[in-house]
Structure 1
Amino acid sequence: MKAYIFPGQGAQFSGMGLDLYENSPLAQELFEKANDILGFPITDTMFEGSAEDLKETKVTQPAIFLHSVILAKTLGDSFKPEMVAGHSLGEFSALVANGALNFEDGLKLVSQRAMAMQKACELQPSTMAAVLGLDDEIVEKVCNVTDGIVVAANYNCPGQLVISGEIEAIDKACQSLKDAGARRALVLPVGGAFHSPLMEPAREELAAAIENTTFNKPNCPIYQNVTANAVVDETAIKANLISQLTAPVRWTQSVQQMIADGATLFTEVGPGKVLQGLVKKINRASETTSATFETNND
C-alpha cells in the first residue's frame, strides 16, 4: 500500500517551490492564489529569501504547507494515496492531500495556527530539546519528576524524542537525562514549547477556526499525531487536529501502525528527506522515496 507523508517545521530551505512555479501553470496559479489569501507575497520569501527570512513563523508554516500541497497537486494521476500522515504542521498538508480539506481552507488554518503559536510563544519564554539514545520510558519518567512544565513532545523514532516546556525545566531535565545516559540532550533553536500545555492559548484560538471550517469525508485514512491510528471520521479528525497543539506527536507509533495496516512504500511529499530517515529508523525494511515533480504531468 502507498503511504504519503508530509513534513513539518524545520524542513524549509531557500528557493523552495521555485522549480514548481517555473515549470507548472497549475503550481503558478496556486502560489498566486496563496499570495492573495495570505495578504503578502510569500513566494518572494520562499523563492528568494534567506534561511533567516524563512524562519519567521508567519512564513515558515505556510511555506512548508504550500510546497507539500502544491507538489502533491502537480503529481497528477500518479498521486493515489491509500493512507496519509503528516508530522505536526504536515498533518494539514496530509488533510488537503486526502481531500478532507480544500486548498484555501487548509492554507488559512495553517496561517492562523502559525500566528496563534507565535502569540503563545510570546506569552511565556519556553523551548524544546532533542534527546538521543534513551528509551522513551526513561525520558517520560525524567519529565514527570522534573519541577516545572516539561513533557515528551515528539516521538520521532526509537532513541530520538523531543521534549518541550519552560526554559528552566528543560535545562534541568536535560541535565538529568545526560546523567541517565542520554547520548545527547540538546536545546533546539525554536521559538517555544510546541506540543506542550504552554500552547493552550494557541489551541483555544485554533479550535475556533477549525470548528468554523468545513471538513469533507477523506478519500483515504489519515494517521493523526494525537492517536497514531487511522481516522476517517470528519468530527474525529477535527478534534484530533485541535488537540494536536498541546499533545505529543506520536510519529514512531503512527509509522508502526501504518506498517501494521499494510504500508509498503512511504513517499515524502514536500521539502527535505527528514521523514524518510525517521521511517528507516523505525523500520529498516520499509521502502521510502521522495515525490518528484515531472513537467509532463501538468
Structure 2
Amino acid sequence: MHKLHNTPAGRVFDVFNHIVLLIIGLVAFIPFVYVIAGSFATEAELVRRSFFVFPETFSLEAYKYVFSTGTFIKSIGVSIFVTVIGTIVSLALTMTMAYPLSRKTLLGKNLILNIIILTMVFSPGMIPLYIVVRSLGLLDTYWALILPLAINPFYLIIVKAFFQNLPNELEEAAKIDGCSEIGIFWKIVLPLSKPVIATFTLFYAVFYWNDFFQALLYISDSAKYPVQLLLQQIVMLANTKIGEVDSLVEPPEETLKLAVIVVATIPILIFYPFLQKHFAKGVLIGSVKG
C-alpha cells in the first residue's frame, strides 16, 4: 500500500483527495465562522455585509440581551441536568437491553428484535405519546424530557452487534471462574466497550442538549424550560418581555439569532474532543455485522 502512494498516480490521487477534503471542510467550517463573527457584529453591519469572517465593529449587544434574561442561567442548569441524567439513563437502558439480546441463549430474542425494528419503521405518533406521558403523570416534570425517548432503537441494534463481536472465550473463561452474568457484563463486557460507550454518550448527549420539541410538548412551566426552548422563545418573542428583559429595550434581532446558535452549540463543541478518539472506532466496530 505504501508503494502505491509513492507512484506518480498515487501522489496525484493523494493530492486530489486532500483538495476535495479541504473543500468539504471549508464548506462545513466557514458558515460557522460567519455565525460567530455575525454574533459579535452590529445590526447595521450584518444588514450591509452579506458575508464576513471579521466584524468591523465588535459588539456584545446580542449576548447582553441573551444573558440579561433572568431565567437563562436556570435554563442552562435544566439543560445540563437533563443532558447528564438523560445520557446516563439512556446508556444504562441501551447497554443492559443490548447485552441479553446479543446472547444466543435468550428465549424470545427474535420476537423482541422484531418489535424493536417495528418501532423504527412505525412511530406511534405525537398524540398517543402525549397521552401516555400525561397518564403516567410526567407532564411538567424533567422525566418527561428523558423517559419517552430514552432508548434509540437504531443505537440499540448497533450496541447489540458490538457485543456479539466480543470473543466468546472471555465469557466462557469467566463462567469457569464462577462469574455470574451480571459479573461478566460489569467486569468484562463494559470495560471492553469503551469505544461504543463513548460514541453513544456523545450521540445521546447531543440529542438531549439540542432537543426542544419534547419540552415544547410536555413542559408548560417556564421555570423548567431547557436552554434550547428558552432560546427559541427569545428569538420568536424578541420584541416582548422575556424573564427580566425590559420590553422597551430594542433587541438586536439578526445578531441575536446568530448569538443563540453560538450559545447552543459551543457546549457540545467543548464536550466532543474528549470523546473524539473513541468516536470513529465505536461506530465502525458496532456496524461490522448484525
Same fold (TM over 0.5): no
Q: Which has the higher strand share?
A: 1
Larger Rg over CA atoms: 2
State the TM bucket, normalised to the shorter chain.
Answer: under 0.3
* Greater relative contact order structure (CA < 8 Å, 6+ sep): 2
* Higher helix content, 1 or 2: 2
TM-score (norm 2): 0.23
